[in-house]
């Protein structure tokens, strides 16, 4: 999520939601929903909203994505082209931030978390749902072998884009596990949980302190 109209996601935009349903065995919405339940009410930023398929249960939503081709398919009224590393919003202007299956594609997670902290109101929260390798060494090896075969095959059969889904396989090894990834930032990781087969899907609930630290 670093460049406007990223060619990888622009190419698969029309089949993106279908392939996600196939790869998640229909569980993707449930995984997102568990994170949505932890958000407060008010205005929520859907960071990396893609086609706008997430159900925010009546909240006011602003969708942000760098891929114009995906953003054009979103039913959300308020849509902004942009990246997580440079959010085009005023300080302390949002009640919540949600990001689903985006963070492993960021150019800089540190910069994005700093931006999320900046735009959130004190005492509000953010939720990130994404993919990671399983924690167990054996399951991690099995999962790596499975995604090396399955992801390009699904990309080929349903989108004619095996290289794009090989990228997804490689992206799963690009970051440390979420249990350490979200430590040491201004936002406090209050709860991290695992979902899906082998626990390869994770969620993290991040809270912004009520009072800004003194500088």
For residues 9 and 32, what is the distance between their CA atoms, to the nearest angstrom? 20
Domain boundaries, the chain: 7-13+24-134+174-207
- 127 confidence band (pLDDT: 50, 70, 90): very high
Q: pLDDT per residue over 93-104, tens digit each?
A: 999 999 999 998
55-78 pLDDT, tens per residue? 999 999 999 999 898 899 999 999
Count of C-beta atoms within a 10 Å radius of residue 61: 22
SS3 120: strand
Mean per-residue pLDDT over the chain, rounded: 88
Mean of the pLDDT values across residues 99-113?
93
The neighbouring-strand residues paired with 81 are 65
Q: What is the pLDDT of residue 10?
A: 64
Mean pLDDT, residues 123-144 taken together: 93
pLDDT of residue 36: 96
> What class has domain 7-13+24-134+174-207?
alpha beta
Under a CB-based contact definition with an 8 Å cutoff, are residues 36 and 55 in contact?
yes
Other C-beta atoms lying within 10 Å of the C-beta of residue 54: 24
Q: What percent of the chain has a predicted confidence (pLDDT) above 70?
A: 90
177 CB burial (10 A radius; 0-12, 13-18, 19+): middle
Contact present, 99 and 77 (Cβ < 8 Å): no
The residue-averaged pLDDT of 15-24 equals 79
Q: In the prediction, which pLDDT does 37 show? A: 94
Quote the tokens at residue 193: 């949980």
Residue 106: partners with Cβ closer than 8 Å, 6 or more residues away: 1, 2, 84, 85, 112
Looking at residue 194, its pLDDT comes to: 97
* Alpha carbon separation from 17 to 22, 47, 192 (Å, rounded): 9, 16, 25
144 burial via Cβ count (<10 Å: 0-12, 13-18, 19+): middle
Q: How confident is the model at residue 129 (pLDDT cuts 50, 70, 90)?
A: very high
Average pLDDT over every residue of 13-41? 86
Q: Is the pLDDT of residue 79 over 50?
A: yes
Q: What is the pLDDT averaged over residues 174-197? A: 95
Q: What are phi and psi of 170, to 5 degrees?
A: -70, -35
Q: What pLDDT sits at residue 157?
A: 73
Round the CA-based radius of gyration of the chain to a whole number and report it. Answer: 17
pTM attached to this predicted model: 0.88
């Amino acid at each position: 999520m670093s460049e406007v109209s990223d060619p990888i996601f622009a190419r698969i935009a029309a089949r993106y939601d279908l392939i996600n349903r196939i790869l998640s065995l229909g569980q993707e919405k449930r995984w997102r929903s568990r994170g949505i339940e932890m958000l407060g009410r008010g205005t929520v930023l859907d960071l990396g909203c893609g086609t706008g398929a997430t159900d925010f249960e009546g909240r006011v939503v602003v969708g942000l994505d760098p891929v114009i081709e995906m953003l054009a398919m979103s039913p959300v009224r308020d849509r902004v082209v942009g990246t997580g590393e440079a959010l085009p919003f005023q300080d302390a202007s949002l009640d919540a931030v949600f990001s689903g299956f985006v963070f492993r594609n960021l150019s800089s997670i540190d910069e994005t978390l700093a931006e999320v902290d900046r735009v959130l109101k004190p005492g509000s929260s953010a939720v990130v749902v994404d993919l990671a390798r399983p924690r167990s060494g054996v399951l991690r090896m099995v999962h790596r072998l499975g995604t090396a075969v399955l992801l390009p095959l699904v990309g080929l059969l349903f989108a004619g884009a095996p290289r794009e889904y090989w990228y997804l396989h490689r992206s799963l090894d690009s970051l440390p596990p979420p249990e350490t990834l979200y430590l040491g930032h201004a936002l406090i990781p209050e709860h991290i949980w695992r979902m899906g087969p082998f626990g390869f899907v994770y969620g993290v609930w991040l809270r912004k302190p009520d009072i800004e630290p003194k500088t």
